[in-house]
Amino acid sequence: MDPWSARHLWAGLILAIYALFCAVIFRRHARRNRPVGAGEGILVAYATQTGFAESLARHTVTGLVAAGQAAWAEAIDRLDATRLSGLTRALFIVSTTGEGDAPDHAAGFVRRVMGATTPLSTLQYGLLALGDRDYAQFCAFGHALDGWLRRQGAVPLFDMVEVDNGDAGALRHWQHHLGQIAGHVHLPDWTTPDYQEWVLAERHHLNPGSPGASIFHLRLTPPPQAIVDWQAGDIAEVGPCNPPDMIAAALADGGGDRAETRHGRTRPLAHWLAETILPEGREPLPHREYSIASLPSDGTLDLVVRRMAGPDGRLGLGSGWLTRHAPVGGPVRLRLRRNPGFHPPTDDRRLILVGNGTGIAGLRAHLKVRARAGLGGNWLLFGERTAAHDSLFDDELAAWQASGILTRLDRAFSRDGARPVYVQQLLAAAGDTVMEWVQDGAAIYVCGSLEGMAAGVHAALTDILGQDTLEELAVQRRYRRDVY
């Protein structure tokens, strides 16, 4: 081949490689920023004034994609009604600026899209509202967007998460929801909670013999000299540990070696490793969240935890640690997180408390507040499996009924009757009374499982009260949920 055609051949080859390289880069960029088509993955739309919401949107996408969930981030101004109505799932991360205003780049979206009506009944969404309580209108744009989406028929996957000045606890709560959305996986914490060492003082099996998984009532005492305070509705974030025998089990697969410890006694290698090289299994395990079931004046922080096990029988990291591996009398790493979205009402209005399973925890704390204040006008509707084994805190509820704190108690036991009855059916059956209590100013608190119960209760309340009234109750903070 003569030199002239060889040179041209090389040039052509280099050009082709370069073109290929550009195409790959272009495709990757286009895929990362391409508008979300109907039904494909999760759109993470952000509205930002100073960049925080955008960085959280990118973090959110990275976390979801790492968990195997397709997701894209886009500025909210790129959305229009057509695109919105083509979505099935979306997350919104929006800040507030000015005096309760939407970030500048979202102004067009507010006027064009939120200024009109768009049927969005196929859309499920989550919303992270960034703000600062020092401003009169805290998270105003987040609330406005949430209200508009609900009025279009969109269904919240969980209640809006408000973030006061970048509060790390609220951001971890958002992550907790992302884990649920991504299929109950646990995403690594964006910021590690500053745990305190509490002591597991007591552990009681609440439902022995139940067809359902075991539920435990745990009492924890605070670190000495620590000043701890919380309100009903607040959350305990627990840092689970890999107990020695779990590591032992993992290592034992590698054979039963023994080693000399500092105290001269010989111990299985696994135990030695677990206690020396990996104290408390100090891998950065993601936190677990639990509703607090007591008040500081009780002297202990109470939790109600169901022991979860995977298809292979291995216990859940959090529930396995708390209900089995953490020794009574031993340390539990715990951090308190404020959850203003589920705090008690500031006045003495009546309360309709609705829940199932371990949701009794959050509701028990609210009943304790009412009992402390001598406030009656409380109605509990609760669902579990069997009356014989799952009448959780039966004595306490009976005492509250006797004292008049609990005006009414309705319980559904799904395994007892010929046909399963759930708490939402109790609500539907008592619709007139629910309407009467709400018209009289009552607030509704829902605590328990997101799947099944929360949606069923929401649908029952929508049938009883109507969508507009229920949305209005949410805006007035008279419809509050802690669902997980």
Does residue 107 belong to the site contacting ligand FMN (CB under 6 A)?
no
**How far apart are alpha carbons 379 and 45 in whole angstroms?**
39
Question: Does residue number 318 form part of the binding site for ligand FMN (CB under 6 A)?
Answer: no
Using the rule CB under 6 A, which residue among 29, 35, 104, 132 binds ligand FMN?
Answer: 132
The phi and psi torsions of 12 (rounded to 5 degrees) equal -60, -45
Q: Are the C-beta atoms of residues 295 and 365 closer than 8 Å to each other?
A: yes
Q: Which is nearer to ligand FMN, 37 or 98 (CB)?
A: 98
Nearer to ligand FMN, 97 or 152 (CB): 97
Q: Pick the closer one to ligand FMN by CB: 136 or 402.
A: 136
User: Smallest Cα–Cα separation from 397: which of 415, 416, 384, 410?
Assistant: 410
157 lies in the site for ligand FMN, by CB under 6 A? no
Residue 369: both structure tokens together: 């507040």
356 sits near ligand FMN (criterion: CB under 6 A): no
Single residue of 60, 97, 291, 378 touching ligand FMN by CB under 6 A: 97
User: In the complex with ligand FMN, which residue's Cβ is closer, 172 or 333?
Assistant: 172
Nearest by Cα to 161 from 125, 136, 123, 110: 125
Q: Is 99 in the site for ligand FMN (CB under 6 A)?
A: yes
For ligand FMN, the closer of residues 144 and 446 by Cβ is 144
Rule CB under 6 A: choose which of 96, 152, 175, 319 binds ligand FMN.
96
Q: Is 207 in the site for ligand FMN (CB under 6 A)?
A: no
- Say whether residue 127 binds ligand FMN (CB under 6 A): no
Would you say 51 or 466 has its CB closer to ligand FMN? 51
Give the whole-angstrom CA distance, residue 265 versus residue 261: 6
Q: Is 355 in the site for ligand FMN (CB under 6 A)?
A: no
Interface residue with ligand FMN among 95, 152, 300, 319 (CB under 6 A) is 95
Nearest position to ligand FMN, beta carbon: 131
Q: State yes or no: residue 293 binds ligand FMN (CB under 6 A).
A: no
Packing angle between helix 431-439 and helix 455-465, nearest 10 degrees? Answer: 70
**Whole-angstrom distance, CA of residue 223 vs CA of residue 373:** 28
Decide: is 344 part of the binding site for ligand FMN (CB under 6 A): no
- Candidates 68-76, 126-134, 204-212, 318-326 — which segment interacts with ligand FMN by CB under 6 A? 126-134
Binding to ligand FMN (CB under 6 A) within 43-82 occurs at 48-53
Least Å from the CB of residue 74 to ligand FMN: 15
Looking at beta carbons only, is 130 or 483 nearer to ligand FMN?
A: 130
169 counts as binding ligand FMN under rule CB under 6 A? no
Question: Which residues pair with residue 378 across a beta bridge?
Answer: 351, 406
Q: Which is nearer to ligand FMN, 164 or 410 (CB)?
A: 164
Binding site for ligand FMN (CB under 6 A): 48-53, 95-100, 103, 130-132, 135, 137-140, 166
